[in-house]
Structure 1
Amino acid sequence: MASTSIPAAAPSFEIISSLRYDPALPNVTSHGANDESYPAPADSPYYLLSYHRDRLLNAAHHFEWDHAIDFLRQDLDRFERFLDGSIPDREKPWRLRIAVDCNGKGSVEVNPTVAIDPLNLLIPSLHRDIQPTIWKVFVDSQSIAPSGFTTHKTTARDDYTAARVRAGITSPAETSEVLVVNSDGEIMEGSITTPYFRRRIVGRETDANEAVWVTPPLKSGGNAGTSRRYALTQGFCIEQVITKADLVDGEECWLSNGVRGFIRGVVVLSR
Protein backbone atom coordinates (compact mmCIF):
# COMPACT_ATOMS: atom_id res chain seq x y z
CA MET A 1 0.00 0.00 0.00
CA ALA A 2 1.37 3.39 -0.95
CA SER A 3 0.86 6.48 1.15
CA THR A 4 1.86 10.12 1.30
CA SER A 5 3.08 11.57 4.58
CA ILE A 6 4.25 15.17 4.85
CA PRO A 7 4.93 16.93 8.16
CA ALA A 8 2.24 19.56 8.73
CA ALA A 9 4.69 21.75 10.66
CA ALA A 10 6.91 22.30 7.64
CA PRO A 11 4.75 21.97 4.53
CA SER A 12 6.65 21.37 1.33
CA PHE A 13 3.52 21.25 -0.81
CA GLU A 14 0.95 23.66 -2.22
CA ILE A 15 -2.81 23.37 -2.54
CA ILE A 16 -3.88 23.37 -6.18
CA SER A 17 -6.85 23.39 -8.51
CA SER A 18 -6.90 23.03 -12.30
CA LEU A 19 -9.55 24.73 -14.38
CA ARG A 20 -10.40 25.67 -17.93
CA TYR A 21 -10.41 29.14 -19.43
CA ASP A 22 -12.58 29.09 -22.54
CA PRO A 23 -13.89 32.20 -24.34
CA ALA A 24 -16.81 30.11 -25.69
CA LEU A 25 -18.02 29.10 -22.22
CA PRO A 26 -20.23 32.15 -21.44
CA ASN A 27 -22.28 31.56 -24.59
CA VAL A 28 -23.23 28.15 -23.23
CA THR A 29 -23.63 28.94 -19.54
CA SER A 30 -25.43 32.26 -20.02
CA HIS A 31 -27.67 31.33 -22.94
CA GLY A 32 -27.56 27.58 -23.51
CA ALA A 33 -28.83 26.54 -20.10
CA ASN A 34 -31.43 27.74 -17.65
CA ASP A 35 -30.46 30.16 -14.89
CA GLU A 36 -30.18 27.46 -12.21
CA SER A 37 -28.18 24.87 -14.15
CA TYR A 38 -24.74 26.43 -13.68
CA PRO A 39 -23.16 28.17 -10.67
CA ALA A 40 -22.66 31.93 -10.79
CA PRO A 41 -20.95 33.78 -12.33
CA ALA A 42 -22.50 32.30 -15.49
CA ASP A 43 -20.83 34.94 -17.70
CA SER A 44 -17.26 33.98 -16.71
CA PRO A 45 -14.89 32.27 -19.18
CA TYR A 46 -13.43 30.35 -16.19
CA TYR A 47 -15.15 26.98 -15.79
CA LEU A 48 -16.85 26.60 -12.37
CA LEU A 49 -14.89 29.57 -11.05
CA SER A 50 -16.63 29.84 -7.66
CA TYR A 51 -16.23 26.12 -7.03
CA HIS A 52 -12.47 26.30 -7.63
CA ARG A 53 -12.11 29.20 -5.21
CA ASP A 54 -14.20 27.28 -2.63
CA ARG A 55 -12.15 24.13 -3.16
CA LEU A 56 -8.88 25.92 -2.49
CA LEU A 57 -10.37 27.66 0.53
CA ASN A 58 -11.61 24.37 1.99
CA ALA A 59 -8.13 22.88 1.57
CA ALA A 60 -6.56 25.90 3.28
CA HIS A 61 -8.95 25.43 6.22
CA HIS A 62 -8.10 21.71 6.40
CA PHE A 63 -4.35 22.36 6.56
CA GLU A 64 -4.91 25.39 8.85
CA TRP A 65 -3.06 27.82 6.59
CA ASP A 66 -4.28 31.17 7.89
CA HIS A 67 -2.46 33.29 5.29
CA ALA A 68 -3.85 31.17 2.47
CA ILE A 69 -7.33 31.50 3.96
CA ASP A 70 -6.98 35.28 3.98
CA PHE A 71 -5.85 35.28 0.33
CA LEU A 72 -8.68 33.00 -0.81
CA ARG A 73 -11.41 34.96 0.98
CA GLN A 74 -11.18 37.65 -1.70
CA ASP A 75 -14.38 38.15 -3.68
CA LEU A 76 -14.85 36.40 -7.00
CA ASP A 77 -14.36 39.55 -9.10
CA ARG A 78 -10.94 40.10 -7.55
CA PHE A 79 -10.10 36.40 -7.85
CA GLU A 80 -11.01 36.48 -11.54
CA ARG A 81 -8.81 39.54 -12.10
CA PHE A 82 -5.97 37.63 -10.44
CA LEU A 83 -6.43 34.86 -13.03
CA ASP A 84 -6.84 37.31 -15.91
CA GLY A 85 -3.23 38.41 -15.57
CA SER A 86 -2.02 34.97 -16.59
CA ILE A 87 -3.99 34.57 -19.85
CA PRO A 88 -1.66 35.10 -22.87
CA ASP A 89 -4.43 35.17 -25.50
CA ARG A 90 -8.06 35.67 -24.50
CA GLU A 91 -9.31 34.27 -27.80
CA LYS A 92 -8.01 30.73 -27.08
CA PRO A 93 -8.82 28.09 -24.45
CA TRP A 94 -6.23 27.40 -21.74
CA ARG A 95 -5.59 25.02 -18.87
CA LEU A 96 -4.83 26.89 -15.65
CA ARG A 97 -3.19 25.37 -12.60
CA ILE A 98 -3.74 27.56 -9.55
CA ALA A 99 -1.35 26.95 -6.65
CA VAL A 100 -1.40 28.56 -3.20
CA ASP A 101 1.30 28.02 -0.56
CA CYS A 102 1.07 28.16 3.22
CA ASN A 103 2.11 31.83 3.19
CA GLY A 104 -0.88 32.79 1.07
CA LYS A 105 1.12 33.34 -2.11
CA GLY A 106 -0.87 32.43 -5.21
CA SER A 107 0.51 31.54 -8.62
CA VAL A 108 -1.01 30.44 -11.92
CA GLU A 109 0.58 28.13 -14.50
CA VAL A 110 -1.02 28.33 -17.95
CA ASN A 111 -0.78 25.76 -20.74
CA PRO A 112 -2.60 25.15 -24.02
CA THR A 113 -5.51 22.73 -23.79
CA VAL A 114 -7.50 20.67 -26.27
CA ALA A 115 -10.41 22.31 -28.03
CA ILE A 116 -13.76 20.80 -27.03
CA ASP A 117 -17.41 21.52 -27.67
CA PRO A 118 -18.31 23.81 -24.74
CA LEU A 119 -21.56 21.87 -24.30
CA ASN A 120 -19.41 19.07 -22.86
CA LEU A 121 -18.70 21.33 -19.89
CA LEU A 122 -22.36 21.04 -18.85
CA ILE A 123 -23.72 18.00 -17.05
CA PRO A 124 -24.59 15.31 -19.63
CA SER A 125 -28.34 15.55 -19.01
CA LEU A 126 -28.29 19.09 -20.44
CA HIS A 127 -27.08 18.08 -23.89
CA ARG A 128 -26.93 15.21 -26.33
CA ASP A 129 -23.82 13.06 -26.27
CA ILE A 130 -21.76 14.34 -29.19
CA GLN A 131 -18.33 13.17 -28.10
CA PRO A 132 -16.39 11.10 -30.64
CA THR A 133 -13.77 9.91 -28.14
CA ILE A 134 -14.37 7.33 -25.41
CA TRP A 135 -11.69 7.01 -22.73
CA LYS A 136 -10.43 3.65 -21.51
CA VAL A 137 -10.86 3.37 -17.74
CA PHE A 138 -8.52 1.01 -15.93
CA VAL A 139 -8.41 0.06 -12.23
CA ASP A 140 -5.26 0.38 -10.14
CA SER A 141 -3.64 -2.91 -9.15
CA GLN A 142 -2.70 -1.51 -5.72
CA SER A 143 -4.54 0.45 -3.05
CA ILE A 144 -3.71 3.82 -1.53
CA ALA A 145 -4.47 5.25 1.89
CA PRO A 146 -7.11 8.01 2.12
CA SER A 147 -5.86 11.20 3.77
CA GLY A 148 -6.07 14.97 3.53
CA PHE A 149 -3.91 14.62 0.42
CA THR A 150 -6.58 12.58 -1.34
CA THR A 151 -9.60 14.59 -0.15
CA HIS A 152 -7.89 17.87 -1.10
CA LYS A 153 -5.83 18.41 -4.24
CA THR A 154 -2.20 19.32 -3.57
CA THR A 155 1.16 19.08 -5.29
CA ALA A 156 1.82 15.91 -3.22
CA ARG A 157 0.57 13.57 -5.93
CA ASP A 158 3.03 10.68 -5.91
CA ASP A 159 0.27 8.12 -5.27
CA TYR A 160 -1.64 9.26 -8.35
CA THR A 161 1.45 9.36 -10.53
CA ALA A 162 2.36 5.82 -9.46
CA ALA A 163 -1.17 4.59 -10.23
CA ARG A 164 -0.94 6.01 -13.74
CA VAL A 165 2.43 4.37 -14.30
CA ARG A 166 1.07 1.00 -13.13
CA ALA A 167 -1.82 1.39 -15.60
CA GLY A 168 0.61 2.13 -18.44
CA ILE A 169 -0.54 5.74 -18.87
CA THR A 170 2.59 7.63 -19.83
CA SER A 171 1.26 10.94 -21.13
CA PRO A 172 -1.42 13.41 -20.01
CA ALA A 173 -2.53 13.52 -23.64
CA GLU A 174 -3.66 9.87 -23.55
CA THR A 175 -7.40 9.23 -23.56
CA SER A 176 -7.08 6.82 -20.65
CA GLU A 177 -7.76 6.99 -16.93
CA VAL A 178 -7.05 4.80 -13.90
CA LEU A 179 -9.34 4.48 -10.89
CA VAL A 180 -7.62 4.55 -7.49
CA VAL A 181 -8.83 2.18 -4.77
CA ASN A 182 -8.67 2.25 -0.96
CA SER A 183 -7.69 -0.68 1.24
CA ASP A 184 -11.34 -1.80 1.51
CA GLY A 185 -11.53 -2.20 -2.25
CA GLU A 186 -13.70 0.90 -2.70
CA ILE A 187 -13.23 3.14 -5.73
CA MET A 188 -12.01 6.52 -4.48
CA GLU A 189 -11.80 8.49 -7.74
CA GLY A 190 -9.83 8.64 -10.96
CA SER A 191 -6.24 9.85 -11.07
CA ILE A 192 -7.34 13.06 -12.79
CA THR A 193 -11.15 12.74 -12.92
CA THR A 194 -14.29 11.95 -10.96
CA PRO A 195 -16.02 8.77 -12.18
CA TYR A 196 -19.76 8.09 -12.48
CA PHE A 197 -21.36 4.67 -12.89
CA ARG A 198 -24.91 3.59 -13.76
CA ARG A 199 -26.32 1.66 -10.79
CA ARG A 200 -29.47 0.73 -8.95
CA ILE A 201 -29.80 2.54 -5.64
CA VAL A 202 -28.66 0.41 -2.70
CA GLY A 203 -31.47 -0.35 -0.27
CA ARG A 204 -34.29 0.33 -2.72
CA GLU A 205 -36.01 -2.10 -5.04
CA THR A 206 -35.71 -0.85 -8.61
CA ASP A 207 -35.87 -2.24 -12.09
CA ALA A 208 -33.26 -1.67 -14.77
CA ASN A 209 -35.02 1.44 -16.02
CA GLU A 210 -34.65 3.10 -12.61
CA ALA A 211 -30.87 2.88 -12.41
CA VAL A 212 -29.18 6.20 -11.79
CA TRP A 213 -25.70 7.67 -12.13
CA VAL A 214 -23.68 7.35 -8.92
CA THR A 215 -20.27 8.61 -7.84
CA PRO A 216 -18.12 7.45 -4.89
CA PRO A 217 -18.82 9.28 -1.61
CA LEU A 218 -16.05 11.33 -0.03
CA LYS A 219 -15.91 8.81 2.82
CA SER A 220 -14.26 6.42 0.36
CA GLY A 221 -11.31 8.82 0.35
CA GLY A 222 -11.51 10.60 -2.99
CA ASN A 223 -11.17 14.23 -3.94
CA ALA A 224 -13.85 16.86 -3.42
CA GLY A 225 -13.66 17.93 -7.06
CA THR A 226 -15.37 20.90 -8.68
CA SER A 227 -17.11 19.05 -11.52
CA ARG A 228 -18.17 16.42 -8.96
CA ARG A 229 -19.83 19.13 -6.89
CA TYR A 230 -21.51 20.51 -10.02
CA ALA A 231 -22.85 17.07 -10.99
CA LEU A 232 -24.22 16.43 -7.49
CA THR A 233 -25.71 19.92 -7.11
CA GLN A 234 -27.53 19.66 -10.43
CA GLY A 235 -28.90 16.18 -9.68
CA PHE A 236 -26.98 14.36 -12.41
CA CYS A 237 -25.83 11.77 -9.85
CA ILE A 238 -25.99 10.67 -6.22
CA GLU A 239 -23.29 9.30 -3.93
CA GLN A 240 -22.95 5.55 -3.49
CA VAL A 241 -20.06 3.28 -2.54
CA ILE A 242 -18.65 1.48 -5.57
CA THR A 243 -16.23 -1.38 -5.02
CA LYS A 244 -13.67 -2.77 -7.39
CA ALA A 245 -15.69 -5.99 -7.44
CA ASP A 246 -18.80 -4.06 -8.60
CA LEU A 247 -17.19 -2.99 -11.87
CA VAL A 248 -18.05 -4.81 -15.08
CA ASP A 249 -15.65 -5.16 -17.98
CA GLY A 250 -16.91 -3.05 -20.87
CA GLU A 251 -19.46 -1.05 -18.88
CA GLU A 252 -19.93 2.54 -19.90
CA CYS A 253 -19.30 5.36 -17.45
CA TRP A 254 -18.76 9.09 -17.29
CA LEU A 255 -15.66 10.95 -16.12
CA SER A 256 -15.30 14.64 -15.33
CA ASN A 257 -12.80 17.26 -14.28
CA GLY A 258 -12.37 21.02 -14.20
CA VAL A 259 -10.50 21.25 -17.51
CA ARG A 260 -12.30 18.86 -19.87
CA GLY A 261 -15.80 18.80 -18.41
CA PHE A 262 -17.65 15.50 -18.90
CA ILE A 263 -16.08 12.63 -20.85
CA ARG A 264 -17.45 9.26 -21.96
CA GLY A 265 -15.56 6.25 -20.64
CA VAL A 266 -15.58 2.45 -20.79
CA VAL A 267 -14.24 0.21 -18.03
CA VAL A 268 -11.41 -2.10 -19.09
CA LEU A 269 -10.71 -4.91 -16.60
CA SER A 270 -8.87 -7.34 -18.87
CA ARG A 271 -5.96 -6.51 -21.12
Structure 2
Amino acid sequence: MTDNSQHEAYEAQPFKFEMFTSLRYDPILLKSLENQDLSFTKDCALYMPVYHRNRILEAARYFNFTKAIPLLKDGVEFQTKIMQFIEAYEQNQRENEKPLRVKVIVNREGELDVEINSVPEVELSTLYPNTLTLPSKEPEEPLEVSPLTGGALNMGPTDYQPVPNHNTSPQKHTIYLDSATTTQSAHTSLKTTHRPHYDASRTRHVKTMPEEVLLQNPKGEITEGSLTTPYFFRNGIWVTPPVHDGHGGQRGTTRRWAIEKGLCSREEVVRRESVVDGERVWVSNGVRGFGWGVVVKGR
Protein backbone atom coordinates (compact mmCIF):
# COMPACT_ATOMS: atom_id res chain seq x y z
CA MET A 1 0.00 0.00 0.00
CA THR A 2 2.88 2.38 -0.71
CA ASP A 3 2.21 3.37 -4.32
CA ASN A 4 2.28 7.19 -4.48
CA SER A 5 -0.27 7.52 -7.28
CA GLN A 6 -2.74 5.37 -5.39
CA HIS A 7 -2.07 7.43 -2.26
CA GLU A 8 -2.83 10.67 -4.13
CA ALA A 9 -6.00 9.17 -5.57
CA TYR A 10 -7.35 8.43 -2.11
CA GLU A 11 -6.42 11.93 -0.94
CA ALA A 12 -8.47 13.36 -3.84
CA GLN A 13 -11.64 11.41 -3.06
CA PRO A 14 -14.55 13.69 -2.08
CA PHE A 15 -15.70 11.79 1.00
CA LYS A 16 -14.36 12.45 4.47
CA PHE A 17 -13.28 9.72 6.81
CA GLU A 18 -11.41 9.12 10.04
CA MET A 19 -9.18 6.32 11.26
CA PHE A 20 -10.33 4.07 14.04
CA THR A 21 -9.70 0.85 15.88
CA SER A 22 -11.95 -1.04 18.31
CA LEU A 23 -10.44 -2.89 21.25
CA ARG A 24 -11.54 -4.48 24.47
CA TYR A 25 -11.05 -3.13 27.96
CA ASP A 26 -11.32 -5.93 30.50
CA PRO A 27 -9.92 -6.15 34.06
CA ILE A 28 -9.38 -9.89 33.50
CA LEU A 29 -6.49 -8.92 31.19
CA LEU A 30 -4.51 -7.74 34.21
CA LYS A 31 -3.97 -11.46 34.92
CA SER A 32 -2.48 -12.09 31.48
CA LEU A 33 1.31 -11.94 31.06
CA GLU A 34 0.70 -12.32 27.33
CA ASN A 35 -1.33 -9.12 27.27
CA GLN A 36 1.19 -7.20 29.34
CA ASP A 37 3.79 -7.95 26.67
CA LEU A 38 1.44 -6.31 24.12
CA SER A 39 0.83 -3.20 26.25
CA PHE A 40 2.79 0.02 26.70
CA THR A 41 2.63 -0.28 30.49
CA LYS A 42 2.50 -3.37 32.67
CA ASP A 43 -0.76 -2.51 34.45
CA CYS A 44 -2.93 -2.33 31.33
CA ALA A 45 -6.41 -3.84 30.93
CA LEU A 46 -6.68 -2.98 27.22
CA TYR A 47 -6.56 -5.91 24.76
CA MET A 48 -3.37 -5.85 22.63
CA PRO A 49 -3.00 -2.03 22.66
CA VAL A 50 0.42 -2.15 20.95
CA TYR A 51 -1.08 -3.86 17.90
CA HIS A 52 -4.01 -1.43 17.83
CA ARG A 53 -1.69 1.58 18.00
CA ASN A 54 0.45 0.09 15.23
CA ARG A 55 -2.50 -0.44 12.89
CA ILE A 56 -3.83 3.09 13.30
CA LEU A 57 -0.34 4.59 12.95
CA GLU A 58 0.09 2.68 9.68
CA ALA A 59 -3.18 4.16 8.44
CA ALA A 60 -2.13 7.67 9.52
CA ARG A 61 1.07 7.41 7.53
CA TYR A 62 -0.64 6.01 4.46
CA PHE A 63 -3.46 8.55 4.37
CA ASN A 64 -1.12 11.41 5.30
CA PHE A 65 -2.79 12.27 8.60
CA THR A 66 0.43 14.05 9.56
CA LYS A 67 -1.03 15.87 12.57
CA ALA A 68 -2.02 12.55 14.14
CA ILE A 69 1.37 10.88 13.83
CA PRO A 70 3.08 12.51 16.88
CA LEU A 71 0.30 11.31 19.20
CA LEU A 72 0.32 7.82 17.72
CA LYS A 73 4.09 7.46 17.81
CA ASP A 74 4.02 7.89 21.60
CA GLY A 75 2.44 4.61 22.67
CA VAL A 76 2.30 5.50 26.37
CA GLU A 77 0.48 8.76 25.63
CA PHE A 78 -1.89 6.98 23.24
CA GLN A 79 -2.74 4.38 25.87
CA THR A 80 -3.02 6.99 28.64
CA LYS A 81 -5.51 9.10 26.68
CA ILE A 82 -7.71 6.06 26.08
CA MET A 83 -7.66 5.20 29.77
CA GLN A 84 -8.71 8.76 30.66
CA PHE A 85 -11.86 8.30 28.58
CA ILE A 86 -12.53 4.94 30.25
CA GLU A 87 -12.08 6.36 33.75
CA ALA A 88 -14.50 9.20 32.96
CA TYR A 89 -17.02 6.71 31.56
CA GLU A 90 -16.82 4.49 34.65
CA GLN A 91 -17.22 7.48 36.93
CA ASN A 92 -20.26 8.69 35.01
CA GLN A 93 -21.84 5.21 34.95
CA ARG A 94 -20.91 4.64 38.60
CA GLU A 95 -19.50 1.24 37.89
CA ASN A 96 -16.13 -0.30 37.15
CA GLU A 97 -14.45 -3.65 36.70
CA LYS A 98 -16.75 -4.34 33.73
CA PRO A 99 -15.56 -5.29 30.22
CA LEU A 100 -16.05 -2.58 27.61
CA ARG A 101 -15.84 -2.07 23.87
CA VAL A 102 -13.60 0.93 23.24
CA LYS A 103 -13.72 2.52 19.78
CA VAL A 104 -10.76 4.88 19.32
CA ILE A 105 -11.23 7.46 16.54
CA VAL A 106 -8.47 9.76 15.25
CA ASN A 107 -9.21 12.52 12.75
CA ARG A 108 -7.00 14.38 10.27
CA GLU A 109 -6.37 17.15 12.82
CA GLY A 110 -4.80 14.66 15.21
CA GLU A 111 -7.71 14.75 17.63
CA LEU A 112 -8.55 11.55 19.47
CA ASP A 113 -12.06 10.59 20.54
CA VAL A 114 -13.36 7.43 22.20
CA GLU A 115 -16.77 5.75 22.15
CA ILE A 116 -17.48 3.24 24.90
CA ASN A 117 -20.18 0.68 25.67
CA SER A 118 -20.50 -2.52 27.66
CA VAL A 119 -19.80 -6.00 26.30
CA PRO A 120 -20.35 -9.45 27.82
CA GLU A 121 -17.78 -11.11 30.02
CA VAL A 122 -15.61 -13.86 28.55
CA GLU A 123 -12.97 -16.24 29.84
CA LEU A 124 -9.35 -15.24 29.45
CA SER A 125 -8.91 -18.27 27.19
CA THR A 126 -11.33 -16.64 24.72
CA LEU A 127 -8.98 -13.69 24.39
CA TYR A 128 -5.76 -15.72 24.42
CA PRO A 129 -6.54 -19.32 23.41
CA ASN A 130 -3.84 -21.99 23.47
CA THR A 131 -5.19 -23.73 20.39
CA LEU A 132 -7.77 -23.43 17.62
CA THR A 133 -9.01 -26.97 18.24
CA LEU A 134 -12.77 -27.01 17.67
CA PRO A 135 -15.19 -28.25 20.32
CA SER A 136 -16.02 -31.93 19.91
CA LYS A 137 -19.80 -31.52 20.18
CA GLU A 138 -22.56 -28.97 20.03
CA PRO A 139 -24.02 -27.40 23.18
CA GLU A 140 -26.61 -29.61 24.86
CA GLU A 141 -28.98 -26.70 25.44
CA PRO A 142 -29.50 -23.25 23.87
CA LEU A 143 -27.37 -20.41 25.17
CA GLU A 144 -28.74 -16.96 25.84
CA VAL A 145 -27.16 -14.47 23.47
CA SER A 146 -26.41 -11.19 25.18
CA PRO A 147 -28.16 -8.03 24.01
CA LEU A 148 -24.91 -6.24 24.86
CA THR A 149 -23.52 -6.56 21.36
CA GLY A 150 -21.10 -3.67 21.57
CA GLY A 151 -21.05 -3.30 17.79
CA ALA A 152 -19.01 -6.48 17.38
CA LEU A 153 -19.72 -10.08 16.62
CA ASN A 154 -20.76 -12.47 19.44
CA MET A 155 -18.27 -15.16 18.49
CA GLY A 156 -16.72 -16.87 21.49
CA PRO A 157 -17.09 -19.70 23.99
CA THR A 158 -18.72 -17.35 26.50
CA ASP A 159 -20.11 -14.57 24.30
CA TYR A 160 -23.43 -14.29 26.09
CA GLN A 161 -24.49 -12.68 29.30
CA PRO A 162 -23.16 -14.98 32.06
CA VAL A 163 -25.82 -16.92 33.97
CA PRO A 164 -24.93 -18.90 37.11
CA ASN A 165 -24.72 -22.67 36.50
CA HIS A 166 -25.37 -22.11 32.79
CA ASN A 167 -24.01 -24.44 30.14
CA THR A 168 -20.66 -22.90 29.06
CA SER A 169 -20.08 -24.95 25.91
CA PRO A 170 -19.18 -22.89 22.85
CA GLN A 171 -22.15 -21.43 21.06
CA LYS A 172 -22.84 -22.35 17.46
CA HIS A 173 -22.94 -19.29 15.19
CA THR A 174 -24.03 -18.93 11.60
CA ILE A 175 -21.62 -17.64 8.94
CA TYR A 176 -22.69 -16.78 5.40
CA LEU A 177 -20.72 -16.26 2.19
CA ASP A 178 -21.29 -12.92 0.52
CA SER A 179 -23.08 -13.22 -2.80
CA ALA A 180 -21.35 -10.11 -4.21
CA THR A 181 -17.67 -9.25 -4.51
CA THR A 182 -15.70 -6.49 -2.79
CA THR A 183 -12.80 -4.83 -4.58
CA GLN A 184 -9.66 -4.26 -2.58
CA SER A 185 -8.83 -0.69 -1.60
CA ALA A 186 -6.96 1.13 1.15
CA HIS A 187 -10.23 1.10 3.07
CA THR A 188 -10.38 -2.71 3.06
CA SER A 189 -6.75 -3.04 4.17
CA LEU A 190 -6.67 -0.22 6.71
CA LYS A 191 -9.20 0.58 9.40
CA THR A 192 -11.21 3.70 8.54
CA THR A 193 -14.75 4.95 9.01
CA HIS A 194 -15.38 4.60 5.26
CA ARG A 195 -17.11 1.21 5.42
CA PRO A 196 -19.92 0.97 2.82
CA HIS A 197 -18.54 -2.36 1.57
CA TYR A 198 -18.95 -3.96 5.01
CA ASP A 199 -22.37 -2.39 5.55
CA ALA A 200 -23.55 -3.68 2.16
CA SER A 201 -22.37 -7.23 2.82
CA ARG A 202 -24.14 -7.32 6.17
CA THR A 203 -27.33 -5.88 4.68
CA ARG A 204 -27.36 -8.66 2.09
CA HIS A 205 -27.02 -11.51 4.57
CA VAL A 206 -27.05 -10.70 8.28
CA LYS A 207 -30.32 -10.53 10.20
CA THR A 208 -29.14 -10.84 13.83
CA MET A 209 -25.95 -9.92 15.65
CA PRO A 210 -24.53 -13.45 16.18
CA GLU A 211 -24.37 -13.89 12.40
CA GLU A 212 -21.36 -13.06 10.25
CA VAL A 213 -20.68 -12.82 6.51
CA LEU A 214 -17.41 -13.61 4.72
CA LEU A 215 -16.41 -11.19 1.97
CA GLN A 216 -14.83 -12.25 -1.32
CA ASN A 217 -12.74 -10.34 -3.86
CA PRO A 218 -13.45 -10.29 -7.62
CA LYS A 219 -11.13 -13.31 -8.06
CA GLY A 220 -13.44 -15.43 -5.89
CA GLU A 221 -11.07 -15.50 -2.90
CA ILE A 222 -12.33 -15.14 0.68
CA THR A 223 -10.78 -12.00 2.16
CA GLU A 224 -12.25 -11.49 5.64
CA GLY A 225 -15.42 -11.31 7.68
CA SER A 226 -17.43 -8.12 7.92
CA LEU A 227 -16.39 -7.86 11.58
CA THR A 228 -13.82 -10.61 12.00
CA THR A 229 -10.76 -12.42 10.68
CA PRO A 230 -11.62 -15.99 9.59
CA TYR A 231 -9.42 -19.09 9.93
CA PHE A 232 -9.91 -22.22 7.82
CA PHE A 233 -8.67 -25.77 8.40
CA ARG A 234 -6.77 -26.83 5.27
CA ASN A 235 -4.46 -29.82 4.82
CA GLY A 236 -4.13 -30.40 8.55
CA ILE A 237 -3.40 -26.82 9.58
CA TRP A 238 -5.24 -23.57 10.26
CA VAL A 239 -4.76 -20.86 7.63
CA THR A 240 -6.10 -17.35 7.09
CA PRO A 241 -6.55 -15.43 3.82
CA PRO A 242 -3.65 -13.19 2.68
CA VAL A 243 -4.01 -9.44 3.14
CA HIS A 244 -1.28 -8.18 0.78
CA ASP A 245 -0.55 -8.18 -2.97
CA GLY A 246 -4.09 -7.50 -4.10
CA HIS A 247 -5.88 -10.17 -2.08
CA GLY A 248 -7.78 -7.74 0.17
CA GLY A 249 -8.71 -8.02 3.83
CA GLN A 250 -7.62 -6.09 6.89
CA ARG A 251 -4.42 -6.59 8.84
CA GLY A 252 -6.25 -7.36 12.07
CA THR A 253 -4.73 -7.33 15.54
CA THR A 254 -5.90 -10.78 16.69
CA ARG A 255 -4.96 -12.10 13.25
CA ARG A 256 -1.39 -10.90 13.74
CA TRP A 257 -1.22 -12.50 17.19
CA ALA A 258 -2.60 -15.85 15.96
CA ILE A 259 0.02 -16.01 13.20
CA GLU A 260 2.90 -14.95 15.46
CA LYS A 261 1.92 -17.56 18.05
CA GLY A 262 1.50 -20.31 15.45
CA LEU A 263 -2.17 -20.96 16.18
CA CYS A 264 -2.68 -20.04 12.55
CA SER A 265 0.15 -21.64 10.59
CA ARG A 266 0.24 -19.32 7.60
CA GLU A 267 -1.58 -17.15 5.10
CA GLU A 268 -3.17 -19.10 2.26
CA VAL A 269 -5.60 -18.28 -0.50
CA VAL A 270 -9.04 -19.71 0.31
CA ARG A 271 -11.28 -19.98 -2.74
CA ARG A 272 -14.97 -19.32 -2.20
CA GLU A 273 -15.92 -22.64 -3.82
CA SER A 274 -13.65 -24.53 -1.37
CA VAL A 275 -15.76 -23.41 1.59
CA VAL A 276 -18.44 -26.04 2.11
CA ASP A 277 -21.84 -25.96 3.74
CA GLY A 278 -21.53 -26.97 7.39
CA GLU A 279 -17.80 -26.20 7.57
CA ARG A 280 -16.67 -24.96 10.96
CA VAL A 281 -14.28 -22.01 11.02
CA TRP A 282 -12.67 -19.88 13.65
CA VAL A 283 -13.09 -16.10 13.73
CA SER A 284 -11.51 -13.36 15.83
CA ASN A 285 -11.57 -9.63 16.44
CA GLY A 286 -10.15 -7.06 18.82
CA VAL A 287 -13.23 -6.80 21.03
CA ARG A 288 -14.54 -10.38 21.29
CA GLY A 289 -11.35 -12.37 20.95
CA PHE A 290 -11.63 -15.83 19.38
CA GLY A 291 -14.67 -17.98 18.64
CA TRP A 292 -16.07 -20.29 15.97
CA GLY A 293 -19.02 -20.62 13.68
CA VAL A 294 -20.62 -22.84 11.07
CA VAL A 295 -20.90 -21.92 7.39
CA VAL A 296 -24.38 -21.97 5.90
CA LYS A 297 -24.62 -21.55 2.15
CA GLY A 298 -27.73 -20.26 0.51
CA ARG A 299 -28.78 -16.88 1.97
Q: Unmatched 5+ residue regions in structure 2?
A: 1-8, 91-95, 136-156, 158-168
Q: Is the 8 A contact 1:11 1:102 kept in 2?
A: no
Aligned partner letter, 1:105: E
Equivalent residues, number: 247
Partner of 1:141, secondary structure, is coil
- 1:123 to partner: Cα distance: 3.2
| Aligned CA distance change for structure 1 residues 126 and 249 (closer, same or farther; 3 Å) | closer
Instruction: Answer yes or no: is 1:125 the counterpart of 2:131.
Output: yes
Could you say which residue in structure 2 is the equivalent of 1:224? Answer: 251
Equivalent residue in structure 2 for 1:106, among 100, 106, 112: 112
2:240 alignment partner, one of 200, 212, 215 = 215
**Residues 218-257 of structure 1, C-alpha deviations (whole Å, 9 max, x = no match):** 1310001101111111111110000101101111110000
Counterpart in the other structure of 1:141 = 179
Q: What is residue 296 of structure 2 aligned with on the other side?
A: 268
Q: Secondary structure at the match of 1:145?
A: coil
- Aligned partner of residue 50 in structure 2, secondary structure: helix
Secondary structure in 1 matching 2:57: helix
Q: Which letter does structure 2 place at the counterpart of 1:19?
A: L
SS in 1 for 2:85: coil
Shift of 1:71: 1.8
Within the candidate set 194, 202, 226, 1:164 is matched to 202
Structure number with the higher strand fraction is 1
Higher RCO (CA < 8 A, seq sep 6+) = 1
Structure 1 runs not aligned, ≥5 long: 1-5, 201-210
CA RMSD of aligned residues (A): 2.2
Q: Which amino acid aligns with 1:100?
A: V
In the aligned structure 2, how far is the partner of 1:240 from the partner of 1:128?
Answer: 20
Matches within 5 A, 1:167-178: 167=205, 169-171=206-208, 174-178=209-213
Distance verdict in 2 for CA 1:67–1:126, change over 3 Å? same
Letter of the structure 2 residue corresponding to residue 240 of structure 1: E
Asked whether 1:23 is paired with 2:27, we answer yes
Task: Give the Cα–Cα distance (whole angstroms) in 1 for the partners of residues 22 and 35 of structure 2.
Answer: 26
Identity of aligned residues (%): 40
Q: TM-score, normalised by structure 2?
A: 0.77
Is 1:155 aligned to residue 154 of structure 2?
no
Question: Offset at 1:106?
Answer: 0.9
Q: Distance in 1 between matches of 2:176 and 2:281?
A: 12
Structure 2 equivalent of residue 190 of structure 1: 225
Q: Are residues 1:83 and 2:111 paired?
A: no
Runs of at least 4 residues off by over 6 Å: none
Structure 2 CA distance for aligned equivalents of residues 108 and 229 of structure 1: 23
Alignment correspondent of 1:259: 287
Q: Tell me how far 1:25 sits from its aligned partner.
A: 1.3
Contact preservation (8 Å) 1:134, 1:175:
no
- State the TM-score, normalizing by the size of structure 1: 0.85
Work out whether residues 24 and 100 of structure 2, in 8 Å CA contact, stay in contact via their aligned partners in 1.
Answer: yes
Distance (Å, rounded) in 1 between the aligned partners of 2:202 and 2:130: 26
CA distance in 1, matches of 2:211, 2:19: 25
* Structure 1 CA distance for aligned equivalents of residues 10 and 62 of structure 2: 14
CA–CA separation in structure 1 for the residues paired with 2:120 and 2:215:
25
